A and B are shown apart, each in its own frame.
Chain A
Amino acid sequence: QSVLTQPPSASGTPGQRVTISCSGGNSNIGTSTVNWYQQLPGTAPKLLIYSNNQRPSGVPDRFSGSKSGTSASLAISGLQSEDEADYYCAAWDDSLSGPAFGGGTKVTAL
């Protein structure tokens, strides 16, 4: 089981808004910033969102992140077919002395 909890799947039609939740605890999300990673099929993961809501250069602004307490969420506004991928949330965990990850959410464009 993963330390952070994500739904296994999410879907929407092109153009729809899709939201992915990420639940943790006081040792991780509650005391650290949250990062999100996108893994397109057959490729290495890529940093999508850092410090809860910041986008690295080149990431489209339809991707946004937020955090509240021990939970976080990733939103894709205006889902596109190329957004079909696995998405992982991550936060430093003081109990692990390392990064904790969610199990990943597979996003499908219907």
Chain B
Amino acid sequence: EVQLVESGGGLVQSGRSLRLSCIASGFTFGDHAMAWFRQAPGTGLEWVALIRNRAYSGTTEYAASVKGRFTISRDDSKSIAYLQMNSLKTEDTAIYYCTRRDGFAAKFDYWGQGTLVTVSS
């Protein structure tokens, strides 16, 4: 059974940093691209970052709203994806979801339960 479990969320002051982790199980982690999404309270889904698998050199992509502040990475030996969030802003407050991409395009077939990040001013 595929499982994605996020951790690392919490309350942090504006300007500080936080690192989210996503522990994956139930599939060959290294075969899949992984991505992070977020959902601010009462709003829709927003893609944050994506990291491709080793076959595609683990290249990364970022939404414009986080580029230069957030870094996505992966440790295939531990089946963990990370999201390092620096220079946090109040508008980064959201539930952050870890997802697995199946194949290409925008097919994200498994989602974690989410971890809440709250940035205070």
Q: Which residues of A contact B (CB under 8 A)?
A: 2, 32-33, 35, 37, 39, 44-47, 50-51, 56, 86, 88, 90-92, 96-104
Contact = CB atoms under 8 A, between A and B. Distances in A.
Given A37-B45, A44-B111, A32 B105 contact: yes
Interface of B: 35, 37, 44-47, 50, 61-64, 97, 102, 104-114
Given A98-B47, A101-B44, A101-B47, A44 B97 contact: yes
Given A35-B105, A45-B97, A101 B45 contact: yes
A88 B37 CA distance: 13
**By DSSP majority rule, is chain A's interface helix, strand, loop, or mixed?**
strand
A47 B102 CA distance: 11
Given A47-B108, A56-B109, 20 more contacts: A2-B44, A33-B105, A35-B105, A37-B45, A37-B108, A44-B111, A44-B113, A45-B37, A50-B109, A51-B107, A91-B105, A91-B106, A96-B47, A96-B61, A96-B63, A98-B47, A98-B50, A99-B35, A99-B105, A100-B106
B44 A103 contact: yes
A32 B112 contact: no
Contact of A44 (B61, B104, B114): B114
A35 B101 CA distance: 12
B44 A90 contact: no
A71 B35 CA distance: 25
Contacts of A88: 44-45
B109 A47 contact: yes
A102 B61 CA distance: 19
Nearest to A89: B106
A57 to B, nearest CB: 10
A37 B46 CA distance: 13
A33 B107 CA distance: 9
